[in-house]
Structure 1
Amino acid sequence: MLRRETLGEIQNRTIEPGRGFGKAHIRSLQPISKPQSVLKEEADEEEMERSRSHEEPIPPLDENIDEDDADNPQLCSEYVNDIYKYLRELEVKYTVPSTYMTSQRDINAKMRAIVVDWLIQVHQRFHLLPETLYTAISLLDRYLAVQAVAKNRLQLVGVTAMLVASKYEEIYAPELRDFVFIVDNAYTAAQIRATERTMLRLLKFELGKPLPLHFLRRNSKAGQVKS
Protein backbone atom coordinates (compact mmCIF):
# COMPACT_ATOMS: atom_id res chain seq x y z
CA MET A 1 0.00 0.00 0.00
CA LEU A 2 1.27 3.45 -0.86
CA ARG A 3 1.94 5.69 2.07
CA ARG A 4 -0.20 8.82 1.94
CA GLU A 5 1.61 12.02 2.77
CA THR A 6 0.38 13.97 5.72
CA LEU A 7 -0.38 17.66 5.53
CA GLY A 8 2.71 18.37 7.59
CA GLU A 9 4.94 16.74 4.98
CA ILE A 10 3.55 18.81 2.12
CA GLN A 11 5.51 22.06 2.12
CA ASN A 12 6.03 24.82 -0.40
CA ARG A 13 9.53 25.60 -1.51
CA THR A 14 10.89 28.63 0.30
CA ILE A 15 13.55 31.12 -0.71
CA GLU A 16 16.48 31.50 1.57
CA PRO A 17 17.03 35.01 2.96
CA GLY A 18 19.27 37.12 0.72
CA ARG A 19 18.77 34.83 -2.24
CA GLY A 20 15.63 36.21 -3.81
CA PHE A 21 14.81 36.07 -7.47
CA GLY A 22 16.89 38.37 -9.60
CA LYS A 23 15.71 40.19 -12.74
CA ALA A 24 17.41 37.70 -15.00
CA HIS A 25 15.68 34.84 -13.26
CA ILE A 26 12.32 36.61 -13.50
CA ARG A 27 12.77 37.09 -17.25
CA SER A 28 13.53 33.38 -17.65
CA LEU A 29 10.21 32.51 -16.04
CA GLN A 30 8.18 34.58 -18.50
CA PRO A 31 6.90 32.41 -21.38
CA ILE A 32 7.71 33.62 -24.85
CA SER A 33 4.41 32.31 -26.25
CA LYS A 34 1.36 30.50 -24.91
CA PRO A 35 1.63 26.69 -24.70
CA GLN A 36 -0.37 24.67 -27.22
CA SER A 37 -2.64 23.31 -24.45
CA VAL A 38 -3.65 26.85 -23.44
CA LEU A 39 -4.29 27.82 -27.05
CA LYS A 40 -6.46 24.73 -27.52
CA GLU A 41 -8.51 25.51 -24.39
CA GLU A 42 -9.10 29.08 -25.56
CA ALA A 43 -10.16 27.83 -29.01
CA ASP A 44 -12.59 25.37 -27.40
CA GLU A 45 -14.10 28.14 -25.27
CA GLU A 46 -14.56 30.36 -28.34
CA GLU A 47 -16.25 27.47 -30.18
CA MET A 48 -18.60 26.90 -27.25
CA GLU A 49 -19.51 30.60 -27.20
CA ARG A 50 -20.30 30.50 -30.93
CA SER A 51 -22.46 27.39 -30.49
CA ARG A 52 -24.38 29.02 -27.63
CA SER A 53 -25.11 32.05 -29.79
CA HIS A 54 -26.74 29.77 -32.40
CA GLU A 55 -28.92 27.83 -29.95
CA GLU A 56 -32.66 28.13 -30.32
CA PRO A 57 -34.02 30.66 -27.80
CA ILE A 58 -36.34 29.47 -25.05
CA PRO A 59 -39.90 30.43 -25.95
CA PRO A 60 -41.44 33.29 -23.96
CA LEU A 61 -43.77 32.44 -21.09
CA ASP A 62 -46.82 33.69 -22.96
CA GLU A 63 -46.29 31.27 -25.86
CA ASN A 64 -48.89 28.51 -26.17
CA ILE A 65 -46.89 25.29 -25.92
CA ASP A 66 -50.04 23.18 -26.36
CA GLU A 67 -51.22 24.58 -29.69
CA ASP A 68 -49.99 21.50 -31.58
CA ASP A 69 -51.75 19.03 -29.25
CA ALA A 70 -55.34 19.81 -30.16
CA ASP A 71 -55.67 16.59 -32.18
CA ASN A 72 -54.46 14.39 -29.32
CA PRO A 73 -57.30 13.84 -26.81
CA GLN A 74 -54.94 12.19 -24.30
CA LEU A 75 -53.03 15.45 -23.78
CA CYS A 76 -56.20 17.43 -22.91
CA SER A 77 -54.73 20.60 -24.38
CA GLU A 78 -57.99 22.49 -23.81
CA TYR A 79 -57.88 21.89 -20.05
CA VAL A 80 -54.17 21.39 -19.38
CA ASN A 81 -53.61 24.79 -17.73
CA ASP A 82 -56.56 24.29 -15.39
CA ILE A 83 -55.34 20.76 -14.61
CA TYR A 84 -51.88 21.94 -13.58
CA LYS A 85 -53.35 24.77 -11.56
CA TYR A 86 -55.39 22.19 -9.66
CA LEU A 87 -52.33 19.96 -9.23
CA ARG A 88 -50.46 22.89 -7.72
CA GLU A 89 -53.29 23.40 -5.23
CA LEU A 90 -53.17 19.71 -4.30
CA GLU A 91 -49.39 19.87 -3.88
CA VAL A 92 -49.80 22.65 -1.31
CA LYS A 93 -52.68 20.82 0.38
CA TYR A 94 -50.76 17.57 0.85
CA THR A 95 -47.39 19.09 1.70
CA VAL A 96 -45.52 17.14 4.38
CA PRO A 97 -43.77 19.36 6.98
CA SER A 98 -40.00 19.30 6.66
CA THR A 99 -39.68 18.57 10.41
CA TYR A 100 -42.15 15.70 10.51
CA MET A 101 -39.48 13.19 11.60
CA THR A 102 -39.09 15.01 14.91
CA SER A 103 -42.45 13.58 15.96
CA GLN A 104 -41.07 10.04 15.65
CA ARG A 105 -39.48 8.69 18.83
CA ASP A 106 -38.28 5.26 17.74
CA ILE A 107 -36.98 6.02 14.23
CA ASN A 108 -34.94 8.76 12.60
CA ALA A 109 -34.19 10.19 9.16
CA LYS A 110 -31.33 7.76 8.57
CA MET A 111 -33.63 4.77 9.06
CA ARG A 112 -36.15 6.34 6.72
CA ALA A 113 -33.40 6.76 4.09
CA ILE A 114 -32.48 3.08 4.41
CA VAL A 115 -36.11 2.08 3.79
CA VAL A 116 -36.27 4.38 0.74
CA ASP A 117 -33.12 2.76 -0.69
CA TRP A 118 -34.72 -0.63 -0.14
CA LEU A 119 -37.93 0.51 -1.88
CA ILE A 120 -35.86 1.55 -4.89
CA GLN A 121 -34.45 -1.97 -5.07
CA VAL A 122 -37.95 -3.46 -4.81
CA HIS A 123 -39.12 -1.09 -7.55
CA GLN A 124 -36.31 -2.25 -9.84
CA ARG A 125 -36.89 -5.91 -8.98
CA PHE A 126 -40.56 -5.73 -9.99
CA HIS A 127 -39.90 -3.45 -13.01
CA LEU A 128 -42.55 -0.96 -11.90
CA LEU A 129 -43.36 2.47 -13.33
CA PRO A 130 -41.46 5.56 -12.10
CA GLU A 131 -44.76 6.97 -10.82
CA THR A 132 -45.13 3.95 -8.54
CA LEU A 133 -41.85 4.64 -6.76
CA TYR A 134 -42.60 8.35 -6.27
CA THR A 135 -46.10 7.54 -5.01
CA ALA A 136 -44.77 4.92 -2.58
CA ILE A 137 -42.26 7.36 -1.06
CA SER A 138 -44.96 10.03 -0.85
CA LEU A 139 -47.30 7.63 0.98
CA LEU A 140 -44.50 6.62 3.34
CA ASP A 141 -43.74 10.23 4.28
CA ARG A 142 -47.39 11.21 4.65
CA TYR A 143 -48.00 8.19 6.89
CA LEU A 144 -44.97 8.91 9.08
CA ALA A 145 -46.14 12.51 9.44
CA VAL A 146 -49.36 11.45 11.15
CA GLN A 147 -48.54 8.09 12.76
CA ALA A 148 -45.76 7.05 15.13
CA VAL A 149 -44.00 3.91 13.90
CA ALA A 150 -41.85 1.45 15.82
CA LYS A 151 -38.44 0.56 14.49
CA ASN A 152 -39.36 -3.06 13.80
CA ARG A 153 -42.41 -2.03 11.76
CA LEU A 154 -40.84 0.64 9.54
CA GLN A 155 -40.13 -1.83 6.74
CA LEU A 156 -43.71 -3.06 7.02
CA VAL A 157 -44.95 0.49 6.40
CA GLY A 158 -42.58 0.80 3.45
CA VAL A 159 -43.69 -2.39 1.74
CA THR A 160 -47.33 -1.48 2.37
CA ALA A 161 -46.76 1.90 0.74
CA MET A 162 -45.31 0.16 -2.31
CA LEU A 163 -48.31 -2.21 -2.42
CA VAL A 164 -50.81 0.66 -2.32
CA ALA A 165 -48.82 2.64 -4.90
CA SER A 166 -48.75 -0.38 -7.21
CA LYS A 167 -52.51 -0.74 -7.00
CA TYR A 168 -52.90 2.97 -7.74
CA GLU A 169 -50.42 3.32 -10.63
CA GLU A 170 -49.84 -0.07 -12.24
CA ILE A 171 -52.04 -1.87 -14.75
CA TYR A 172 -50.76 -5.23 -13.54
CA ALA A 173 -49.70 -4.75 -9.92
CA PRO A 174 -47.65 -7.40 -8.09
CA GLU A 175 -49.70 -9.69 -5.87
CA LEU A 176 -49.66 -9.58 -2.10
CA ARG A 177 -47.69 -12.81 -1.89
CA ASP A 178 -44.97 -11.20 -3.99
CA PHE A 179 -44.52 -8.52 -1.34
CA VAL A 180 -44.49 -11.15 1.41
CA PHE A 181 -41.73 -12.91 -0.50
CA ILE A 182 -39.73 -9.71 -1.05
CA VAL A 183 -39.57 -9.08 2.73
CA ASP A 184 -38.39 -12.69 3.22
CA ASN A 185 -41.51 -13.55 5.24
CA ALA A 186 -40.56 -11.02 7.92
CA TYR A 187 -44.22 -9.91 7.84
CA THR A 188 -47.31 -11.92 7.05
CA ALA A 189 -49.96 -11.13 4.46
CA ALA A 190 -52.38 -10.36 7.29
CA GLN A 191 -49.99 -7.76 8.77
CA ILE A 192 -49.58 -6.05 5.39
CA ARG A 193 -53.36 -5.97 4.89
CA ALA A 194 -53.90 -4.50 8.35
CA THR A 195 -51.26 -1.82 7.73
CA GLU A 196 -52.84 -1.07 4.36
CA ARG A 197 -56.22 -0.45 6.00
CA THR A 198 -54.62 1.79 8.62
CA MET A 199 -52.69 3.76 6.00
CA LEU A 200 -55.74 4.34 3.80
CA ARG A 201 -57.84 5.35 6.80
CA LEU A 202 -55.29 7.85 8.13
CA LEU A 203 -54.74 9.35 4.66
CA LYS A 204 -58.53 9.43 4.09
CA PHE A 205 -58.06 7.53 0.80
CA GLU A 206 -56.55 10.70 -0.71
CA LEU A 207 -53.79 9.21 -2.87
CA GLY A 208 -53.75 11.79 -5.65
CA LYS A 209 -50.91 13.97 -4.42
CA PRO A 210 -49.04 15.38 -7.47
CA LEU A 211 -45.62 13.90 -8.12
CA PRO A 212 -42.42 15.72 -9.11
CA LEU A 213 -42.60 13.86 -12.43
CA HIS A 214 -45.83 15.65 -13.34
CA PHE A 215 -44.26 19.09 -13.10
CA LEU A 216 -40.91 17.94 -14.54
CA ARG A 217 -42.56 16.74 -17.74
CA ARG A 218 -44.53 19.94 -18.09
CA ASN A 219 -41.49 22.15 -17.51
CA SER A 220 -39.42 20.03 -19.90
CA LYS A 221 -42.01 20.57 -22.58
CA ALA A 222 -42.04 24.32 -21.95
CA GLY A 223 -38.23 24.38 -22.16
CA GLN A 224 -38.22 22.31 -25.37
CA VAL A 225 -36.06 19.62 -23.82
CA LYS A 226 -35.20 16.99 -26.39
CA SER A 227 -35.11 13.42 -25.15
Structure 2
Amino acid sequence: MNLSGCYSLENKENLYQVLKPASASTHRTFGQDITNLILRPHDSDKIDSQDPQRLGYYAHEIFAYLHKVENNFQANFGYLKAQFEINESMRSILIDWVIEVHLKFKLMPETLFLTVNIIDRFCEAAIVSRHNYQLLAISALLIACKYEEITVPDIKSLSFISDHTYSQKEILAMEGSILRALHFNVTVTTPFRFLERYARLIHMDNLAFNLAHYTIELSLMDYKMLKYSPSQIAASSIYLTNKLYNNDSAWPQILIEESPYNDTDLRACAKELCLNLQGSRQSPFQALFKKFSLPRFCEVAKMVF
Protein backbone atom coordinates (compact mmCIF):
# COMPACT_ATOMS: atom_id res chain seq x y z
CA MET A 1 0.00 0.00 0.00
CA ASN A 2 1.39 3.41 -0.96
CA LEU A 3 1.01 5.86 1.95
CA SER A 4 3.28 8.58 0.59
CA GLY A 5 0.36 10.93 -0.06
CA CYS A 6 -1.22 10.58 3.40
CA TYR A 7 0.03 13.80 4.98
CA SER A 8 -3.13 15.13 6.67
CA LEU A 9 -3.63 14.81 10.40
CA GLU A 10 -6.87 12.96 9.80
CA ASN A 11 -5.17 10.33 7.65
CA LYS A 12 -2.39 9.85 10.17
CA GLU A 13 -4.89 9.40 12.98
CA ASN A 14 -6.80 6.84 10.93
CA LEU A 15 -3.58 5.03 10.22
CA TYR A 16 -2.77 5.00 13.93
CA GLN A 17 -6.17 3.53 14.71
CA VAL A 18 -5.36 0.63 12.36
CA LEU A 19 -1.78 0.03 13.47
CA LYS A 20 -1.99 0.64 17.25
CA PRO A 21 -1.53 -2.45 19.40
CA ALA A 22 -4.57 -4.03 20.98
CA SER A 23 -3.29 -3.21 24.50
CA ALA A 24 -3.49 0.55 23.83
CA SER A 25 -7.14 0.88 24.79
CA THR A 26 -7.02 4.21 26.68
CA HIS A 27 -8.82 7.00 24.84
CA ARG A 28 -6.90 10.29 25.29
CA THR A 29 -8.82 13.46 24.47
CA PHE A 30 -7.27 16.86 23.91
CA GLY A 31 -5.56 18.30 26.96
CA GLN A 32 -6.23 15.38 29.30
CA ASP A 33 -2.78 14.61 30.59
CA ILE A 34 -0.76 14.76 33.79
CA THR A 35 -0.95 18.58 33.72
CA ASN A 36 -4.62 18.38 34.73
CA LEU A 37 -3.81 16.08 37.61
CA ILE A 38 -1.15 18.43 38.94
CA LEU A 39 -3.05 21.70 38.54
CA ARG A 40 -6.46 20.41 39.63
CA PRO A 41 -8.25 23.08 37.58
CA HIS A 42 -11.71 24.42 38.29
CA ASP A 43 -14.70 22.90 36.49
CA SER A 44 -14.76 25.55 33.77
CA ASP A 45 -11.05 25.00 33.10
CA LYS A 46 -11.60 21.24 32.90
CA ILE A 47 -14.26 21.86 30.28
CA ASP A 48 -11.98 24.28 28.44
CA SER A 49 -9.15 21.73 28.40
CA GLN A 50 -11.01 20.19 25.46
CA ASP A 51 -10.82 23.51 23.60
CA PRO A 52 -7.42 24.26 21.98
CA GLN A 53 -8.29 27.97 21.83
CA ARG A 54 -9.05 28.40 25.54
CA LEU A 55 -6.22 26.23 26.93
CA GLY A 56 -8.09 25.53 30.13
CA TYR A 57 -5.30 23.43 31.59
CA TYR A 58 -2.97 26.46 31.46
CA ALA A 59 -5.55 29.14 32.31
CA HIS A 60 -4.45 29.60 35.93
CA GLU A 61 -0.83 30.25 34.94
CA ILE A 62 -1.79 32.44 31.98
CA PHE A 63 -3.96 34.77 34.04
CA ALA A 64 -1.52 34.82 36.96
CA TYR A 65 1.01 36.16 34.46
CA LEU A 66 -1.45 38.65 32.95
CA HIS A 67 -2.21 40.04 36.40
CA LYS A 68 1.53 40.70 36.84
CA VAL A 69 2.08 42.47 33.51
CA GLU A 70 -1.29 44.17 32.93
CA ASN A 71 -0.04 47.65 33.91
CA ASN A 72 3.06 47.58 31.70
CA PHE A 73 1.32 49.24 28.79
CA GLN A 74 -1.44 51.34 30.32
CA ALA A 75 -1.78 55.13 30.26
CA ASN A 76 -1.50 56.88 33.62
CA PHE A 77 -4.32 58.97 35.00
CA GLY A 78 -3.38 62.64 34.74
CA TYR A 79 -1.68 62.54 31.36
CA LEU A 80 -4.07 65.17 29.98
CA LYS A 81 -2.38 67.82 32.12
CA ALA A 82 0.48 67.82 29.63
CA GLN A 83 -1.84 68.42 26.65
CA PHE A 84 -2.54 71.97 25.48
CA GLU A 85 -5.47 71.59 23.08
CA ILE A 86 -7.39 68.53 24.29
CA ASN A 87 -9.13 67.92 27.60
CA GLU A 88 -11.32 65.40 29.42
CA SER A 89 -14.53 66.55 27.70
CA MET A 90 -12.97 66.23 24.25
CA ARG A 91 -11.74 62.77 25.15
CA SER A 92 -15.30 61.70 26.04
CA ILE A 93 -16.62 63.08 22.74
CA LEU A 94 -13.94 61.22 20.81
CA ILE A 95 -14.46 57.88 22.59
CA ASP A 96 -18.22 58.18 22.09
CA TRP A 97 -17.59 58.56 18.36
CA VAL A 98 -15.15 55.62 18.34
CA ILE A 99 -17.82 53.44 19.98
CA GLU A 100 -20.29 54.35 17.21
CA VAL A 101 -17.75 53.50 14.52
CA HIS A 102 -16.80 50.28 16.26
CA LEU A 103 -20.45 49.19 16.32
CA LYS A 104 -21.01 50.23 12.70
CA PHE A 105 -18.11 48.05 11.53
CA LYS A 106 -19.25 45.15 13.77
CA LEU A 107 -15.84 44.72 15.35
CA MET A 108 -14.71 42.53 18.23
CA PRO A 109 -14.98 43.86 21.81
CA GLU A 110 -11.22 43.67 22.30
CA THR A 111 -10.71 45.98 19.32
CA LEU A 112 -12.56 48.78 21.10
CA PHE A 113 -10.55 48.44 24.30
CA LEU A 114 -7.26 48.28 22.41
CA THR A 115 -8.21 51.36 20.35
CA VAL A 116 -8.87 53.42 23.48
CA ASN A 117 -5.68 52.11 25.06
CA ILE A 118 -3.66 53.24 22.03
CA ILE A 119 -5.30 56.69 22.01
CA ASP A 120 -4.53 57.27 25.69
CA ARG A 121 -0.98 55.98 25.52
CA PHE A 122 -0.13 58.07 22.45
CA CYS A 123 -1.51 61.19 24.13
CA GLU A 124 0.68 60.39 27.11
CA ALA A 125 3.74 60.05 24.87
CA ALA A 126 3.19 63.00 22.50
CA ILE A 127 1.41 66.35 22.21
CA VAL A 128 -1.69 66.07 20.03
CA SER A 129 -3.36 69.00 18.32
CA ARG A 130 -7.12 69.44 18.31
CA HIS A 131 -7.17 69.01 14.53
CA ASN A 132 -5.36 65.66 14.67
CA TYR A 133 -7.27 64.18 17.58
CA GLN A 134 -9.85 62.41 15.41
CA LEU A 135 -7.08 61.35 13.04
CA LEU A 136 -5.37 59.71 16.02
CA ALA A 137 -8.56 57.77 16.78
CA ILE A 138 -8.94 56.56 13.18
CA SER A 139 -5.35 55.35 12.99
CA ALA A 140 -5.56 53.78 16.45
CA LEU A 141 -8.66 51.88 15.30
CA LEU A 142 -6.79 50.73 12.20
CA ILE A 143 -3.93 49.38 14.33
CA ALA A 144 -6.33 47.64 16.71
CA CYS A 145 -8.19 46.07 13.79
CA LYS A 146 -4.98 44.76 12.29
CA TYR A 147 -4.13 43.20 15.63
CA GLU A 148 -7.53 41.77 16.61
CA GLU A 149 -9.71 41.34 13.53
CA ILE A 150 -9.73 38.78 10.74
CA THR A 151 -11.11 41.32 8.25
CA VAL A 152 -9.76 44.87 8.56
CA PRO A 153 -11.72 47.92 7.34
CA ASP A 154 -10.05 49.40 4.28
CA ILE A 155 -8.41 52.82 4.36
CA LYS A 156 -11.08 54.32 2.08
CA SER A 157 -13.79 53.41 4.60
CA LEU A 158 -11.80 54.91 7.46
CA SER A 159 -11.32 58.12 5.51
CA PHE A 160 -15.04 58.17 4.67
CA ILE A 161 -16.16 57.98 8.32
CA SER A 162 -14.28 61.23 8.96
CA ASP A 163 -16.14 62.88 6.05
CA HIS A 164 -12.82 62.80 4.21
CA THR A 165 -11.32 65.24 6.70
CA TYR A 166 -8.19 63.10 6.55
CA SER A 167 -6.67 61.52 3.48
CA GLN A 168 -5.57 57.92 3.27
CA LYS A 169 -1.97 59.11 3.28
CA GLU A 170 -2.50 61.05 6.51
CA ILE A 171 -4.12 58.02 8.18
CA LEU A 172 -1.17 55.81 7.29
CA ALA A 173 1.34 58.47 8.36
CA MET A 174 -0.35 58.77 11.76
CA GLU A 175 -0.36 54.98 12.05
CA GLY A 176 3.41 55.01 11.69
CA SER A 177 3.78 57.82 14.23
CA ILE A 178 1.68 55.92 16.77
CA LEU A 179 3.60 52.68 16.40
CA ARG A 180 6.96 54.44 16.72
CA ALA A 181 5.80 56.36 19.80
CA LEU A 182 4.57 53.16 21.44
CA HIS A 183 7.66 51.21 20.30
CA PHE A 184 5.28 48.81 18.55
CA ASN A 185 3.99 47.55 21.91
CA VAL A 186 0.32 46.87 21.18
CA THR A 187 -0.02 43.58 23.06
CA VAL A 188 -2.01 44.69 26.08
CA THR A 189 -4.41 43.05 28.51
CA THR A 190 -7.77 44.78 28.66
CA PRO A 191 -10.67 44.65 31.13
CA PHE A 192 -12.70 42.58 28.69
CA ARG A 193 -10.24 39.68 28.75
CA PHE A 194 -10.31 39.59 32.55
CA LEU A 195 -14.11 39.90 32.52
CA GLU A 196 -14.37 36.82 30.33
CA ARG A 197 -12.17 34.88 32.74
CA TYR A 198 -13.97 35.91 35.94
CA ALA A 199 -17.43 35.41 34.43
CA ARG A 200 -16.53 31.95 33.18
CA LEU A 201 -15.22 30.85 36.58
CA ILE A 202 -18.55 31.65 38.27
CA HIS A 203 -20.69 30.46 35.33
CA MET A 204 -22.28 33.88 34.91
CA ASP A 205 -25.35 33.85 32.69
CA ASN A 206 -25.60 35.85 29.48
CA LEU A 207 -27.78 38.64 30.90
CA ALA A 208 -25.47 39.27 33.85
CA PHE A 209 -22.40 39.09 31.61
CA ASN A 210 -23.81 41.72 29.27
CA LEU A 211 -24.55 44.00 32.21
CA ALA A 212 -20.96 43.64 33.44
CA HIS A 213 -19.77 44.19 29.87
CA TYR A 214 -21.82 47.39 29.72
CA THR A 215 -20.22 48.72 32.91
CA ILE A 216 -16.66 48.14 31.72
CA GLU A 217 -17.36 49.85 28.39
CA LEU A 218 -18.86 52.78 30.31
CA SER A 219 -15.53 53.00 32.11
CA LEU A 220 -13.87 53.78 28.77
CA MET A 221 -15.79 57.04 28.68
CA ASP A 222 -14.64 58.07 32.15
CA TYR A 223 -11.11 59.49 32.19
CA LYS A 224 -10.92 58.99 35.98
CA MET A 225 -11.16 55.23 35.57
CA LEU A 226 -7.55 55.20 34.39
CA LYS A 227 -6.75 55.18 38.12
CA TYR A 228 -7.67 51.49 38.15
CA SER A 229 -5.98 48.52 36.53
CA PRO A 230 -7.83 46.56 33.81
CA SER A 231 -8.35 43.54 36.07
CA GLN A 232 -9.67 45.74 38.88
CA ILE A 233 -12.25 47.29 36.55
CA ALA A 234 -13.33 43.85 35.36
CA ALA A 235 -13.46 42.46 38.89
CA SER A 236 -15.43 45.48 40.11
CA SER A 237 -17.94 45.03 37.31
CA ILE A 238 -18.53 41.45 38.45
CA TYR A 239 -18.80 42.63 42.07
CA LEU A 240 -21.30 45.35 41.09
CA THR A 241 -23.38 43.01 38.94
CA ASN A 242 -23.63 40.44 41.74
CA LYS A 243 -24.65 43.22 44.14
CA LEU A 244 -27.35 44.43 41.76
CA TYR A 245 -28.65 40.88 41.45
CA ASN A 246 -28.54 40.43 45.25
CA ASN A 247 -26.44 37.31 44.89
CA ASP A 248 -25.29 35.59 48.07
CA SER A 249 -21.67 36.51 47.43
CA ALA A 250 -20.66 39.56 45.41
CA TRP A 251 -17.09 38.26 45.13
CA PRO A 252 -17.11 34.44 45.50
CA GLN A 253 -14.25 32.43 46.95
CA ILE A 254 -13.20 31.07 43.56
CA LEU A 255 -12.54 34.64 42.35
CA ILE A 256 -10.54 35.43 45.48
CA GLU A 257 -8.37 32.43 44.63
CA GLU A 258 -8.03 33.31 40.94
CA SER A 259 -7.39 37.06 41.28
CA PRO A 260 -5.34 39.44 43.44
CA TYR A 261 -8.51 40.92 45.00
CA ASN A 262 -10.91 40.48 47.86
CA ASP A 263 -14.21 42.36 48.09
CA THR A 264 -12.76 45.30 50.04
CA ASP A 265 -10.33 45.99 47.16
CA LEU A 266 -13.24 46.44 44.74
CA ARG A 267 -15.72 48.65 46.54
CA ALA A 268 -14.32 52.06 45.51
CA CYS A 269 -14.04 51.11 41.85
CA ALA A 270 -17.46 49.41 41.90
CA LYS A 271 -19.01 52.57 43.32
CA GLU A 272 -17.64 54.64 40.43
CA LEU A 273 -18.87 52.05 37.94
CA CYS A 274 -22.29 52.21 39.58
CA LEU A 275 -22.39 56.01 39.27
CA ASN A 276 -21.54 55.71 35.57
CA LEU A 277 -24.28 53.12 35.14
CA GLN A 278 -26.87 55.27 36.92
CA GLY A 279 -25.96 58.32 34.86
CA SER A 280 -25.87 56.58 31.49
CA ARG A 281 -29.46 57.48 30.54
CA GLN A 282 -28.93 61.21 31.14
CA SER A 283 -25.40 61.33 29.74
CA PRO A 284 -24.83 63.58 26.70
CA PHE A 285 -22.86 60.66 25.24
CA GLN A 286 -25.41 58.09 24.17
CA ALA A 287 -23.47 55.68 21.92
CA LEU A 288 -23.11 53.05 24.63
CA PHE A 289 -26.69 53.40 25.87
CA LYS A 290 -27.98 52.82 22.33
CA LYS A 291 -25.56 49.95 21.76
CA PHE A 292 -26.50 48.06 24.93
CA SER A 293 -30.19 48.69 24.32
CA LEU A 294 -29.97 46.29 21.36
CA PRO A 295 -31.41 42.75 21.70
CA ARG A 296 -28.00 41.18 21.06
CA PHE A 297 -26.83 42.73 24.35
CA CYS A 298 -30.03 41.68 26.16
CA GLU A 299 -31.10 45.35 26.29
CA VAL A 300 -29.25 45.71 29.60
CA ALA A 301 -29.01 49.50 29.23
CA LYS A 302 -32.78 49.69 29.69
CA MET A 303 -32.71 47.82 32.99
CA VAL A 304 -33.67 49.77 36.10
CA PHE A 305 -32.16 48.96 39.50
TM-score (norm: length of structure 2): 0.52
- Which letter does structure 2 place at the counterpart of 1:186? T
Aligned equivalent of 1:127: 106
CA distance in 2, matches of 1:209, 1:63: 25
Q: What's the CA shift string for 1:46-102, capped at 9, x where partnerless? A: xxxxxxxxxxxxxxxx97241232222221122211211222223121131111111
- Which letter does structure 1 place at the counterpart of 2:42? N
Contact 2:111 2:141 in 1 (8 A): yes
CA distance in 2, matches of 1:165, 1:95: 15
Q: What's the CA shift string for 1:155-185, capped at 9, x where partnerless? A: 0001111111111111011001110111111
Measured after TM superposition, the shift of residue 223 of structure 1 is 1.8
Aligned equivalent of 2:203: 224
> Which of structures 1 and 2 has the bigger CA Rg?
1
CA distance in 2, matches of 1:142, 1:68: 37
Contact 2:143 2:175 in 1 (8 A): yes
CA distance in 1, matches of 2:68, 2:155: 33
Matched, 1:100 2:69: no
Superposition RMSD in Å: 1.4
Aligned equivalent of 1:115: 94
- Which letter does structure 2 place at the counterpart of 1:64? H
Aligned equivalent of 2:130: 151
Matched, 1:170 2:149: yes
Aligned equivalent of 2:42: 64
- Which letter does structure 1 place at the counterpart of 2:55? C
Aligned equivalent of 1:195: 174
Contact 2:119 2:136 in 1 (8 A): yes
Q: Identity of aligned pairs, percent?
A: 34
CA distance in 2, matches of 1:129, 1:156: 21
CA distance in 2, matches of 1:146, 1:167: 22
Aligned length: 166
**Counterpart selection for 1:182 from 153, 156, 161:** 161
Point out where structure 1 has 5 or more consecutive residues left out of the alignment: 1-61
Point out where structure 2 has 5 or more consecutive residues left out of the alignment: 1-39, 207-305
Matched, 1:83 2:62: yes
- Which letter does structure 2 place at the counterpart of 1:135? L
Q: What's the CA shift string for 1:131-163, capped at 9, x where partnerless? A: 111111111011111111011110000111111
CA distance in 1, matches of 2:69, 2:109: 20
Please state whether the residue corresponding to 2:47 is helix, strand or coil: coil
- Which letter does structure 1 place at the counterpart of 2:93? I
Q: What's the CA shift string for 1:111-133, capped at 9, x where partnerless? A: 11111011011111111111111
